[in-house]
Each structure stands twice: as C-alpha cells, then as structure tokens.
Amino acid sequence: MCPFRFLMQRADRYAAQSTWKDFALVKLCLGALGVLIGLSVPARRRKGAGILAALVFLPTYVLLIKDFIPFLTDREV
C-alpha cells in the first residue's frame, strides 16, 4: 500500500471519530507552528513567504467557507 494512501485512510478514521473540539486543537497547533516557522524566516525572504502563505490560505479558506455557509443558513436546529 502507498504510504500516502495509508496516512489518508488513518486520517479519515481519526476525523470520523473526532469532535469540533479536536479540530479546534489541531487548528491551534498548526497556527502556532505557522507562527514559529514565520519567526524563523529571514527578513530578506519574508515578502516571498508572505505571498506564498497568502496563495495557500486564500483558496483553502474559500473552499472551507463554501462548505460551511449552508450550515449557517440552515434553519434546522
């Protein structure tokens, strides 16, 4: 089995049994890691790193929000 496929299957199993609190912790952890990586970028490379981060952030944010908006407009509680 491909190592990537193995990891993705394990991640799917983890996600299936996780709660929103687990995902919040993962997001905080990854956010903190991003800050630490950002602090280690030399000053002369920060503009390029910022552009790269924006190019990753914007499309992923749009995809996440696109899937979340129906939950905000749902009248069912």
pTM here?
A: 0.68
**pLDDT at position 75, please?**
77
For residue 15, CA distances in Å to 18, 22, 27 come to 5, 9, 13
**pLDDT at position 67, please?**
87
**DSSP assignment of the chain:** --HHHHHHHHHHHHHHT--HHHHHHHHHHHHHHHHHHHHHS-GGGHHHHHHHHHHHHHHHHHHHHHHHHHHHH----
- Max distance between CA atoms of the chain, in angstroms, equals 51
Instruction: Quick: pLDDT tens for 20-72.
Output: 999 999 999 999 999 999 999 999 999 999 999 999 999 999 998 998 888 88
**pLDDT at position 77, please?**
61
